[in-house]
Amino acid sequence: MLTAAVRDLHVCYPGQYLTGVSTTAQSLWDNNPYVSSLKEPDPEVSIIDCQYPLIHQSDATPYHFVWGFSDYLNSLLDLKIKPTCNRGDIYLSEEERSGASQVHQITGEDTPFWIVAAGGKYDFTIKWWDTKRYQEVVDHFEGRIQFVQVGETGHYHPSLRGVIDLRGKTDTRELVRLVYHSCGVLCGVTFLMHLAAAVPVRPGRPSNRAAVIVAGGREPTQWEAYPHHQFLHAIGCLDCCKSGGCWRSRTARLGDGSEHDNPENICVDVVEGLPRCMAMISAQDVIRRIEMYYEGGNYSYLSFEQDAAVYNALQLGRGTH
């Protein structure tokens, strides 16, 4: 989201600033035309620890996360930055755009695919949906949509069947490139969701990448949802999220000493191991939202030849489950 603020700063105030960045995801800034090499000892360089306090008003105000850092810079620098695009700002090199995707390398052809992240980090287990339901979705589209499973090593990403398994096999830039080549993504409110909006769409595809997000009731829709995504939520349906997100962290305590185990951070309405807001979202709900992209004519299901190439790769065990 900080990439959006840097873009909007330069678009709203062209030629007036130079910006350098130092973040925990530095590779996201590769190829970014708005980033300069700046050094701290230079007396003309000011260091700003960027924050987004606007999040504390997100349940009650009509602002998207894309406003977060810009709003902070406005208050700090007395500016009037406004978002110029409702997404982050990620750039790919010509080599990344022209090179074959990891899926192409596995199947031997330019196979259309969706990316699925069927888990998440342990700090926010309240964002996890049911693995069995993810599997139902994958099974429903067998032979028609090829899913590629991703997830960072050390996080919770249980194995799905019938997918190309790239869990633990993509660094940040490789994931960016994978998203670039993808038709759509299926996930919760997570990094992949924001990449789905921020990464450019490959030529020949619809102008906005398909995405189905299993969101539940943790975060307000206006803060997280992108206009062209199918954002499945329960805001307004339950007492615990009747007027906005609950902002809690975990479905149950993990006993790891984290503040996320504090009582105020634990879900108050759990059904069979899931937050009720997530349990209310069925596999059929997700299936229907994916089907809408195809019924609308934006995408086509796999051809027999494309599915056969995937099947052969699966049988040969080339990075698959």
Looking at the structure, do residues 143 and 292 belong to the same domain, yes or no?
yes
Considering the domain architecture, whether residues 67 and 147 belong to the same structural domain is answered as no
Residue the block writes with tokens 């790919």: 92
- Closest by Cα among 70, 148, 134 to 313: 148
Task: Establish if 289 belongs to a structural domain.
Answer: yes
Residues of the chain with pLDDT > 90: what percent? Answer: 93
Segments forming the whole domain that contains residue 114: 102-316
Looking at the domain assignment, is residue 175 inside a domain? Answer: yes
> For the residues 46-68, what does the mean pLDDT come to?
96
Select from 83, 85, 64, 35 the least CA-distant residue to 200: 85
* Same domain assignment for residues 35 and 184: no
Total domains in the fold of the chain: 2
Residues 46 and 106 in one domain: no
123: in domain: yes
pLDDT tens track for 217-264:
999 999 999 999 999 999 999 999 999 999 999 999 999 999 999 999
Strands (E), 152-266: 164-165, 184-187, 210-216, 230-233
- Beta bridge partners, 19, equal 35
Higher pLDDT, 40 or 160: 160
Confidence of residue 30 (pLDDT cuts 50, 70, 90): very high
Query: Residues near 308 by Cβ (< 8 Å), separated by ≥ 6?
Result: none
Query: What share of residues in the chain are helix, strand, coil (percent, to 5)?
Result: 40, 10, 50
- 77, 93, 115 - which closes a domain: 77
Say how far apart CA 105 and CA 101 lie, in whole Å. Answer: 6
CATH number at residue 183: 3.40.50.2000
Neighbouring C-beta atoms of residue 262, cutoff 10 Å: 12
Q: Are residues 69 and 8 in the same domain?
A: yes
| Phi, psi dihedrals of residue 181, rounded to the nearest 5° | -85, -10
Q: Both 61 and 210 in a single domain?
A: no
**DSSP-derived 3-state class of residue 135:** helix
Q: Quote the pLDDT of residue 320.
A: 54
Whether residue 15 is found in the same domain as residue 126:
no
Same domain, 138 and 171: yes
Domain boundary among the residues 44, 77, 110 is at: 77
Residues 202 and 298 in one domain: yes
Q: Tell me, yes or no, whether 95 lies in a domain.
A: no
Residue 113 lies in a domain: yes
49 located within any domain: yes
> What pLDDT sits at residue 38?
86
- Cβ–Cβ < 8 Å for 75, 81: no
Residues 13 and 70 in one domain: yes
- Please indicate, yes or no, whether residues 166 and 66 belong to a single structural domain of this protein: no
Residue 321 has pLDDT above 60, yes or no: no
User: What pLDDT, on a 0 to 100 scale, did the predictor assign at position 319?
Assistant: 57
Distance CA 172, CA 178 (A): 10
The answer to whether position 214 is within a domain reads yes
Give yes or no: residues 72 and 153 share one domain.
no
pLDDT of 289 > 90? The answer is yes
Per-position DSSP letters for 163-190, written without gaps between them = SEE-TT---HHHHHHHHHH-SEEEESSS
Query: Which residue's entry shows tokens 């990344």?
Result: 96
